[in-house]
Chains A and B, each alone.
Chain A
Amino acid sequence: MLKFLVRRTLTMVATALVLTFVVFWLTNLPPNLEKLAKSEASARMTDAEVESWLERNGHAQPLLKRYGEWLGVAPGWTWEAADGTVSGRCIPRGTPPEEAARFCGVLQGNWGLSTVFKQPVSDIIATRLGLTGILMFWVMVLMVPSALLLGVLSGMREGSRLDRGLSTISIASTATPEYVSGVVLIVVFSSSLVGLRWFKGTAASAMDGITFENFFLPVLTIALYGMGYIARMTRASMAEVMTQQYIRTARLKGAGFGRVVMRHALRNALIAPFTVIMLQFPWLLNGVVIVETLFNYKGFGWTLVQAAGNNDIDLLLGCSVVAVVVVLVTQAMSDIGYVLLNPRIRVS
């Protein structure tokens, strides 16, 4: 077990390094840097001025060196101006350079400063991720049980009228992207057009306090999209289990249909969808982008949009680190959980 975890962790670290490097490279392409210089200093800079600004701010160094600095494994850059003042990556404005640390990267807890929000990236991500976490939690609470129910009900009698009806629902819900279902839901449940006005069309107030009224629509929008997918997987798994010989054994023991489904089929049918459910976590993280923007809920997805739209390099990098970690951790969890659920699987 320990050996497996260590090996698994090492692979994850290596994957994380590669992925963050790719993102770092893409966000630090020359045009991005030029834009950064113009937005930070002056929009009317000449090309020569841009170059010298980049040089003064450590952006002219080789890519690997910059990545190392950002990560915190290479010493931060320093720049001695003509007047003798020393500035550098690790030297906050107004402190003497002697007191500054040599390394200041992600590993040291220094995630950089957001150029849009004028706040440390780590603070922004912590608050925003918290908000999105709440959203994701409620989405899972709604999505997983209803998807499993839908899948089990339609898979237990493959080809029946119930199956066809429920399958149509789940296919329709997966086939409708959030930006369609979200808009439709807002129109139906919160606009004067239909006049139901049951829920609020914006979740901005949910950031201060969640109520059923202000939070249900964004949760439902995401849940609907993911639900159909999990339900289809569960259905396939359930339908396969129902053809197994041990189900026949149970039937010919004299067990009724309900008992066959509940006692014999259910646990076996849930092994396969478990992986799919774990895969939903990273997907949710990206999936919230649209819904958070649509409902003006300022969570992780909304932050990502802001960062990307405003060439906020440090914030974008911070967001991608979080996304990479979430993907890798949920993957490892799904592998381990799969082994624990299924007594027959052994990882080698």
Chain B
Amino acid sequence: MEGKPVSETAPASPTPILEIENLSISFFTRTREIPAVMDFSCTVMPGEAMGLVGESGCGKSTVALAVMRDLGRNGRITGGSIRFKGRDLAELGPRELRAIRGKEIAMIYQEPMASLNPAMKIGAQLAEVPILHEGLDRAAALDRAREIVAAVRLPDPDRILNAFPHQLSGGQQQRIVIAMALMSKPSLLILDEPTTALDVTVEAGIIDLVRDLAETQGTSLLFISHNLGLVSDVCDRLCVMYSGEAVETGGVEEVFGAMRHPYTQALFRSIPVPGADKTLRPLVAIPGNFPLPHERPPGCNFGPRCAYFVAGRCDAQDIPMVPVEGYARHGSRCIRIDEIDWAHPPAPPPVAPPLPPGEVVIEARNLKKYYETRSGAFGGGMAKVVKANEQIDFAAREGETLAIVGESGCGKSTLAKLLMGLETATEGTVLLEGTEIQSRPVEARGPDLLRRLQMVFQNPFDTLNPSMSVGSQIQRAIEIFGTRRSEADRRDRMLELLDLVKLPRAFADRKPRQLSGGQKQRVGIARAFAGEARVVVADEPVSALDVSVQAAVTDLLMEIQRKERTTLIFISHDLGIVRYLSDRVLVMYLGHVVEIGTTEQVFRPPYHPYTEALLSAVPVPDPKVARKRIVLEGEIPSAMNPPPGCPFQTRCRWKSQVPGTLCETEVPALRETAEGHRIKCHLTDAQLATMEPVIRVAD
């Protein structure tokens, strides 16, 4: 049955703040029209938080910019209407538009650093809003700025108002952007991926702040994110977008409780949740790639990747949004909504049993890395020592995955550089199969050592040479490793590697720009495994990829590792993925290893207080998963000026339970609490035993 399209009208009472109806937006290039958003509708009521979820390129930011009427010279609204408090935004003149921007509708951006003027003081940037909209004089505007800076919980407002943006940390910058948006108490706040560039514990603080402020001021939110967990945390209602269309919309509980679109369901099943391991909640990768705007299939855009696709129906006509029966304001753009058994999704692929770990392959003992920097503008000033790595001890066995977890600045990337020889250690040893390599820079490592210890990089877009074909880049790696002598041998090996990473052999002749992000990362993986590597260091290998391809690349990495019995050192900030694929986890904070153990041990109490906070900060979209919220106060201290004693003492909520000033004066020992589980904390075993699990999965 084809139902009538859902009209998103609110129950009679107050007028909606924002009403978007059948909106279509296209970008016009010299050669063609590229539709970015098609037939999009949504309504935001006063005080309501609406979430827009989708992967990059799905059109969610375009909707936000259309609301701001800032589509640039090439973008145009080709159909539908956007009404703000009953006024059609498309009919406003430039003067009226300026009066609304910043005053009635304010926006918070993804990259706080780029969104603040680098050559203007924070105070001047904030004061501009009331000066423009309320005609306040400079002094009064600065007073207002000082109040708001305090309201977004920034310390020492006077110092901050006098600072330039680059003098603040990322979290502080984002608070300033929020403060700027709140200067004129807007009725609608648009947040475009406001925390994507921030660390999880900082993200938790920002999200709390936004929620509190919106509640106290009655501001409506349009919250844009690719993170289902965040949206379910913040929003009352949400709208899932795929390739320019809204595919499912409704209340947060309804959508997560009763998903009625195959894409929502597939996306949900492809995201690892830190509360669950691979047997309890296996990842199911979405096959294929996100369609480019000019290569959209006929009919349902998700059709080619959908498990329920029926040829001749799903691709026969445009699919309308239909209401989901039994729910108010819940709609889905699926033609087979009544035929699919939503409670029983297709069975996940079987999970392979864990590998028994072998001999120790790579080991670090008492590893340290200090950098020296100078503070003055011309290289003078006091020399400061940055303690990027302090006392790193770990060992990883053959066929094992060791995850290194921590927020930015914790020293995990420095550790990767030390292992790879991009930096040499200040102290301590790194042993690769018994050979010391800590002071051998990468130039001095012979082909054999290079071959055995390889790396998969974070950003596949920048790490492939744009002017060389994919095949020759892999062949070049094989040549450097010296494993195959003849050109023909190397070509055979390259084709085998393409098979290994599940890319068609024809891709050998393609240039990197002809590949999607996920495909490029597969090439990166093929290159790393080209010489039968013994250890592969993967530095955030999937964090730059779209959510729906992350699972596929993760699965591939695990499958190859299993086949080759490689040791994988997996560096990540994403606890969900870490829980999913690693055998053991090492948690870092400010250059210290604060906790190390098997995945089971680290994700179960007793925790190190930092691990506890880190776990609780991860937003989880699953309504069946309950978690305790612990929001850390303050910023991560600078490694240039670390606190005395325990590195975590400035933000630790357990500190009061430790007698005296032990935490402030002494670095705790990394002591064994269970076999193979070590925690760097002054808390006694009895105190640690009282910790409750942060994440609980309901049955």
Contact partner of A267 (CB less than 8 A), chosen from B119, B166, B376, B380, is B119
Q: Is there an interface contact between B99 and A254, defined as CB atoms closer than 8 Å?
A: yes
Q: Is there an interface contact between B132 and A344, defined as CB atoms closer than 8 Å?
A: no
Q: How distant is the Cα of A348 from the Cα of B106 in the complex, in angstroms?
A: 40
Q: Is there an interface contact between B378 and A339, defined as CB atoms closer than 8 Å?
A: yes
Q: Is there an interface contact between A344 and B118, defined as CB atoms closer than 8 Å?
A: yes
Q: How distant is the Cα of A25 from the Cα of B150 in the complex, in angstroms?
A: 69
Residues of chain A within 8 A (CB-CB) of B103 are 254
Q: Mark A317-342, 1 if CB is under 8 A from B, else 0.
A: 00000000000000000001001101
CB distance from A259 to the nearest CB of B (A): 8
Q: Is A14 an interface residue (CB 8 A)?
A: no
B residues whose Cβ falls under 8 Å from a Cβ of A: 68, 70, 98-103, 106-107, 109, 111, 114-120, 128-129, 132-133, 164, 166, 177, 180, 374, 376-380
Q: Is there an interface contact between A1 and B116, defined as CB atoms closer than 8 Å?
A: no
Further contacts, 20 of them, CB under 8 A, given A1-B380, A255-B132:
A1-B377, A2-B380, A4-B378, A245-B109, A245-B111, A246-B114, A249-B115, A253-B129, A253-B180, A254-B98, A254-B100, A254-B101, A254-B129, A263-B128, A268-B119, A340-B377, A343-B118, A344-B166, A345-B377, A348-B379
Listed residue (B102, B107, B119, B166) with the most chain A CB atoms within 10 angstroms of its CB: B119
Residues of chain A within 8 A (CB-CB) of B164 are 343
CB distance from A232 to the nearest CB of B (A): 22
Chain B minimum-CB-distance residue to A246? B117
Residues of chain B within 8 A (CB-CB) of A342 are 119
Q: Mark A1-38, 1 if CB is under 8 A from B, else 0.
A: 11111000000000000000000000000000000000
Q: Is A251 an interface residue (CB 8 A)?
A: yes
Chain A minimum-CB-distance residue to B114? A245
Q: Mark A232-257, 1 if CB is under 8 A from B, else 0.
A: 00000000000011101111111110
Q: Mark A288-308, 1 if CB is under 8 A from B, else 0.
A: 000000000000000000000
Q: Is there an interface contact between B379 and A346, defined as CB atoms closer than 8 Å?
A: yes
Q: How distant is the Cα of A329 from the Cα of B679 in the complex, in angstroms?
A: 59
Q: Is there an interface contact between B377 and A339, defined as CB atoms closer than 8 Å?
A: yes
Chain A minimum-CB-distance residue to B381? A1
Q: Mark A263-295, 1 if CB is under 8 A from B, else 0.
A: 110011001000000000000000000000000
Q: Is A193 an interface residue (CB 8 A)?
A: no
Residues of chain B within 8 A (CB-CB) of A339 are 377-378
Tell me whether A256 and B379 are in contact in the complex, defined as CB-CB below 8 angstroms, given that A248-B70, A264-B120, A343-B119 are known contacts.
no
Chain A minimum-CB-distance residue to B110? A245
Q: Which of A113-129 contact B (CB under 8 A)?
A: none
A-B pairs, 4 with minimum CB distance:
A4-B378, A254-B102, A253-B102, A245-B114
Listed residue (B68, B116, B120, B177) with the most chain A CB atoms within 10 angstroms of its CB: B120
Tell me whether A245 and B115 are in contact in the complex, defined as CB-CB below 8 angstroms, given that A1-B376, A252-B70 are known contacts.
yes
Q: How distant is the Cα of A100 from the Cα of B568 in the complex, in angstroms?
A: 81
Residues of chain B within 8 A (CB-CB) of A267 are 119-120
Residues of chain A within 8 A (CB-CB) of B98 are 254-256
Q: Is there an interface contact between A3 and B378, defined as CB atoms closer than 8 Å?
A: yes
Q: Is there an interface contact between A255 and B128, defined as CB atoms closer than 8 Å?
A: yes
CB distance from B316 to the nearest CB of A (A): 41
Q: How distant is the Cα of A146 from the Cα of B297 in the complex, in angstroms?
A: 54
Contact partner of B133 (CB less than 8 A), chosen from A244, A251, A254, is A254
Q: Mark A164-185, 1 if CB is under 8 A from B, else 0.
A: 0000000000000000000000
Residues of chain B within 8 A (CB-CB) of A245 are 109, 111, 114-115
Question: Could you name 22 residue pairs across A and B whose Cβ atoms are closer than 8 Å?
Answer: A244-B114, A245-B114, A246-B115, A246-B118, A248-B115, A249-B180, A250-B117, A252-B70, A252-B101, A252-B102, A252-B106, A254-B102, A254-B103, A254-B132, A255-B128, A263-B120, A264-B117, A268-B117, A339-B378, A343-B164, A344-B118, A346-B377
A-B interface pairs (CB < 8 A), number:
92
Q: Is A347 an interface residue (CB 8 A)?
A: yes
Q: How distant is the Cα of A4 from the Cα of B68 in the complex, in angstroms?
A: 48
CB distance from B113 to the nearest CB of A (A): 9
Residues of chain A within 8 A (CB-CB) of B107 are 252
Listed residue (B70, B106, B109, B378) with the most chain A CB atoms within 10 angstroms of its CB: B378
Residues of chain A within 8 A (CB-CB) of B101 are 251-254
Q: How distant is the Cα of A343 from the Cα of B118 in the complex, in angstroms?
A: 8
Q: How distant is the Cα of A160 from the Cα of B103 in the complex, in angstroms?
A: 29
Residues of chain B within 8 A (CB-CB) of A340 are 377
CB distance from B66 to the nearest CB of A (A): 13
CB distance from A340 to the nearest CB of B (A): 8
Tell me whether A3 and B379 are in contact in the complex, defined as CB-CB below 8 angstroms, given that A248-B70, A255-B132 are known contacts.
yes
CB distance from B184 to the nearest CB of A (A): 9
Listed residue (A246, A267, A339, A347) with the most chain B CB atoms within 10 angstroms of its CB: A246
CB distance from B409 to the nearest CB of A (A): 19
Q: Is there an interface contact between B109 and A249, defined as CB atoms closer than 8 Å?
A: yes
Listed residue (A1, A249, A339, A340) with the most chain B CB atoms within 10 angstroms of its CB: A249
Q: Is there an interface contact between B132 and A252, defined as CB atoms closer than 8 Å?
A: no
Chain A minimum-CB-distance residue to B121? A343
Q: How distant is the Cα of A90 from the Cα of B394 in the complex, in angstroms?
A: 76
Q: Is there an interface contact between B377 and A347, defined as CB atoms closer than 8 Å?
A: yes
Chain B minimum-CB-distance residue to A264? B117
Residues of chain A within 8 A (CB-CB) of B374 are 348
Chain B minimum-CB-distance residue to A2? B380
Residues of chain B within 8 A (CB-CB) of A251 are 70, 101
Contact partner of B116 (CB less than 8 A), chosen from A249, A259, A271, is A249
Q: Is there an interface contact between B380 and A3, defined as CB atoms closer than 8 Å?
A: yes
